[in-house]
Each structure stands twice: as structure tokens, then as C-alpha cells.
């Protein structure tokens, strides 16, 4: 038991480990989706469950994407709140460049995608797919790129990815919400208000926030707003203020959930969503995968690196300390690893068109893999002198 605990302790404190686990799960899904067991693999996640406690979630795929991913977004919400109130995003000077880079890194890929898919209006709903960055995957690749890189690079990548996550949450809430049910939406508002009141009353026990988050998830699931938004909203009500022991409910929850999120929830999402048959579906076109792939690969580079250079030339912000232009280029490439969030948005963008989702997966996987390899190649062995 002590040996297992030791292994788990090392894994849970290894930044590269969650990204590597995700890569392995994605590879397994990809291999099985192109094997003689492809149909059985598909049925494992999409086959109707014999019994489900929530009628709207009728198969394992739905439970993962609408249920477990709400926990993923809950952790994202906790991280965003901590960074905004007490982290890198709390200082206007330090957050200026990452925020500019993140916004440009979302806008340029979307424009490239819309430019490539302009002739087919049915594809326009996928504009946000190449705008996302997979933080676990990107940090994993950065850790594998080797030692000797300035610490400011990792901090910059994390901050850009957190702002990117916030942008993705807003995109999902405002652009991928349809068919609102006002009764369920009202119930969600009441629960959210109750959680805010509990916070204002100074309650520091975890139970009210956890139970309130589950109740909020259930009502949001039925409201027409995507259920994962409940995770972010609930997280924002959890208190961050430290007690005498320098602890808080937010820090306790984040500490408890980071490892399960990285080693269970995200890998399960990868297994359930990364499997795609290699090759265009019958009747498919190259526009969708090409728009996503080039959006991730080129759009992130142009948006992030271009905004860094421009902000520095205009005196708006300075590049991360001791970082070279080559290293920043490598970071911009790593931000082109969309994977988890891109796959998630693809399912929201084309909910009734499974062929388009399959085409989107090809673009996501292709663009993310090339971006990861190119980013690692640039970062590996890069010097530390600024250029």
C-alpha cells in the first residue's frame, strides 16, 4: 500500500503526467475506433443504458460530457477565481500581455476557420472549435520539452490557458445555448443566489457548496443552458478568503479535485470522444477539418506570437522575463493543442450532425498533434538569451 501511495504521490505532483495519460487515452480511442472492435467501442459509450438516475442522460457518453465534465468546469471555475482574486490575473500589469495574447489567440483561429468554411453556412457554427487550448496537454508537452526553460514561460502558458478557458466558458454560455426552459432557468437562479448568500454568511463548510453545486447542475441540465456552465457558476460562489491556518474552502476543493480531474475525468472524456475513423466520412469535405486544423496550427501562432511582438513594440506590455522569441513561438504553438475543449465544443456546435463531428475530430487531432510536435521541437534545446 505504501508503494502504491508513493507512486500516486509522485504522479499527482508531476505536471507532465495528466497530459501523458490524456495522450495515451486518446491513442487508445483512436486505435480502437479504427479496429475490428470499432462498433463495440462505439456502443460502449453510445449504447442506451438499462437504467439511469437522470432521464436526460441515457448513455455513458452523455454522463461523461454533461456530468463528469461539469466537474472539470467546476475545477476550471475554481482556478479562474483564484487567479483573478489572488493569482497572476489579480495584477493588471502582469495580466495585460497574457490577456491580450489569449484574446488574439482565440480570434485569429476563428477568423481562419470562417475564411476556409465561408462557402458552407452549415459549418459556420464550428467557428469556436479551433479557438480553445487544452491546458493539461499543453503543460504536459512543455514539461516533456526539457529543462532549462525560464519559469516565466510556464507561468505565461498557464495564464493564457486560464484566460482561454474563461473565454471558452463565455462562448459556450452565449453561443451554444438553445431552447431555454424558463422554469428550470428560474430554479437555477434561485440556487445560485442561495449559494451566494451562503458565501456572504461566511459559511466555510464544504457540504453546502458541494450539495448546492449538484442541485445547480441538475437544474441547469434541464434549462437549455449547457450543464457544464453550472460547474463554473457554482465554483465562483466558493469562498477563497484564508483562515488562520491559511486555508479556504476553495483551496480545499481545488486540492481535492485536481488529481481526479486530471487522471480520471479528462482521460475518460478522451476515451469517449477522441475515437475517430481515419479518413473522411462518406460525403464529407475537407473544409471543416482543414479550417479547424489550420485554425489551431496557424491561427494560434499568428494570434499569440503576433500580439506579443506588437504589444512589445507599442510599449503596451513586456514579454515574459528571460524568454526568447523562439521560446514564445514554441508556447504559441503549444496553445494550438485544442483537444479536450475543442472536442467538447465540436459536440455542441453540431449536436445533430454526427458526420460533421467526426470531420471536426480529424481537424482537431491533426492540428493538435502537429502543433504539439512543432512546439516541442522549437522549445527543446532553445537558448535562454532574449532575442
Q: For the chain, give the number of residues.
A: 387
And the C-alpha cell for 21?
Answer: 495519460
Domain boundaries, the chain: 57-176+266-274+292-379
pLDDT at 108: 97
Residue whose C-alpha cell is 482574486: 85
And the C-alpha cell for 41?
Answer: 467501442
Q: What is the DSSP letter of 319?
A: P
pLDDT at 386: 45
pLDDT at 2: 59
pLDDT at 383: 57
pLDDT at 162: 87
As a whole number of Å, the CA-based R_g of the chain is 21
Q: How far apart are CA 245 and CA 130, in angstroms?
A: 43
What homologous superfamily does CATH list for 57-176+266-274+292-379?
Answer: Na+/H+ antiporter like domain (1.20.1530.10)
Q: Which of 186-195, 238-247, 304-313 has the lowest mean pLDDT?
A: 238-247
- Per the prediction, the chain carries an average pLDDT of 89
Q: How far apart are CA 346 and CA 339, in angstroms?
A: 10
Question: Chain centroid to CA 342: how far?
Answer: 8
Q: Which of 214-223, 255-264, 315-324 has the highest mean pLDDT?
A: 214-223
Each residue's pLDDT tens digit, 228-254: 899 999 999 999 988 888 899 999 999
pLDDT at 248: 94
Each residue's pLDDT tens digit, 347-369: 999 998 988 999 999 999 999 99
Which has more confidence, 323 or 281?
A: 323
Name all contacts of 182-189 with Cβ < 8 Å and 24+ positions apart.
184/219, 184/220, 184/222, 184/223, 184/224, 185/219, 185/223, 185/224, 185/225, 187/219, 187/223, 188/216, 188/219, 188/220, 188/223, 188/225, 188/230
pLDDT band at 89 (very low <50, low <70, confident <90, very high): confident
Q: How far apart are CA 306 and CA 101, in angstroms?
A: 8
H/E segment holding residue 318: none
> pTM (2 decimals)?
0.87
Q: How far apart are CA 61 and CA 219, in angstroms?
A: 20
pLDDT at 197 over 60: yes
Residue whose C-alpha cell is 451554444: 176
pLDDT at 3 over 70: no
Number of CB atoms found within 10 A of residue 316's CB: 12
Q: How far apart are CA 178 and CA 199, in angstroms?
A: 30
Q: How far apart are CA 295 and CA 175, in angstroms?
A: 19
Residue whose C-alpha cell is 508537452: 141
Q: Give me the residues paired with residue 48 across strands.
A: 59
Please state, for a pLDDT cut of 90, what percent of the chain lies above it: 66
pLDDT at 144 over 60: yes
| Dihedral, 128, 24, 359, 331 alpha carbons, nearest 10 | 40
pLDDT band at 8 (very low <50, low <70, confident <90, very high): low
pLDDT band at 140 (very low <50, low <70, confident <90, very high): confident
Whole-Å CA distances, 331 to 118, 165, 168, 341? 29, 16, 19, 18
pLDDT at 194: 97
pLDDT at 286 over 60: yes
H/E segment holding residue 46: helix 38-46
Amino acid at each position: 500500500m505504501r508503494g502504491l501511495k508513493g507512486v500516486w504521490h509522485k504522479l499527482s505532483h508531476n505536471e507532465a503526467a495528466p497530459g501523458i495519460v490524456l495522450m495515451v487515452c486518446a491513442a487508445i480511442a483512436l486505435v480502437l475506433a479504427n479496429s475490428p472492435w470499432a462498433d463495440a467501442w462505439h456502443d460502449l459509450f453510445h449504447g442506451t443504458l438499462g437504467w439511469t438516475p437522470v432521464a436526460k442522460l441515457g448513455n455513458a457518453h452523455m454522463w461523461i460530457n454533461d456530468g463528469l465534465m461539469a466537474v472539470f468546469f467546476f475545477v476550471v471555475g475554481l482556478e479562474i477565481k483564484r487567479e483573478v482574486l489572488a493569482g497572476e490575473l489579480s495584477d493588471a500589469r502582469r495580466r495585460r500581455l497574457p490577456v491580450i495574447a489569449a484574446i488574439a489567440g482565440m480570434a485569429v483561429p476563428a477568423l481562419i476557420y470562417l475564411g476556409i468554411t465561408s462557402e458552407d453556412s452549415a459549418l459556420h457554427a464550428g467557428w469556436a472549435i479551433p479557438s480553445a487550448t487544452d491546458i493539461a496537454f499543453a503543460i504536459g508537452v512543455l514539461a516533456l520539452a526539457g529543462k532549462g526553460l525560464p519559469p516565466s514561460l510556464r507561468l505565461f502558458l498557464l495564464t493564457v490557458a486560464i484566460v482561454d478557458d474563461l473565454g471558452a466558458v463565455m462562448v459556450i454560455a452565449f453561443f451554444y445555448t438553445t431552447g431555454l426552459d424558463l422554469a428550470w432557468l428560474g430554479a437555477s437562479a434561485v440556487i445560485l443566489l442561495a449559494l451566494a448568500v451562503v458565501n456572504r454568511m461566511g459559511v466555510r463548510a464544504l457540504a453546502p457548496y458541494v450539495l448546492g453545486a449538484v442541485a445547480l447542475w441538475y437544474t441547469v441540465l434541464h434549462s437549455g443552458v449547457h450543464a457544464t456552465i453550472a460547474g463554473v457558476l457554482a465554483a465562483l460562489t466558493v469562498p477563497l478568503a484564508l483562515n488562520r491556518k491559511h486555508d479556504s474552502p476553495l483551496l480545499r476543493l481545488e486540492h481535492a479535485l485536481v488529481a481526479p480531474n486530471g487522471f480520471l475525468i479528462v482521460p475518460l472524456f478522451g476515451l469517449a470522444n477522441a475515437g475517430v475513423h481515419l479518413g473522411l466520412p462518406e460525403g464529407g469535405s475537407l473544409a471543416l477539418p482543414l479550417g479547424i486544423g489550420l485554425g489551431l496550427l496557424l491561427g494560434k501562432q499568428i494570434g499569440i506570437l503576433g500580439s506579443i511582438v506588437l504589444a512589445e513594440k507599442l510599449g503596451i506590455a513586456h514579454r515574459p522575463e528571460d524568454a526568447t522569441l523562439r521560446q514564445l513561438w514554441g508556447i504559441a504553438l503549444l496553445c494550438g493543442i485544442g483537444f479536450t475543449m475543442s472536442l467538447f465544443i465540436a459536440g455542441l456546435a453540431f449536436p445533430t450532425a454526427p458526420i460533421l463531428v467526426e470531420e471536426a475530430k480529424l481537424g482537431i487531432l491533426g492540428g493538435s498533434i502537429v502543433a504539439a510536435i512543432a512546439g516541442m521541437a522549437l522549445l527543446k534545446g532553445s537558448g535562454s538569451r532574449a532575442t
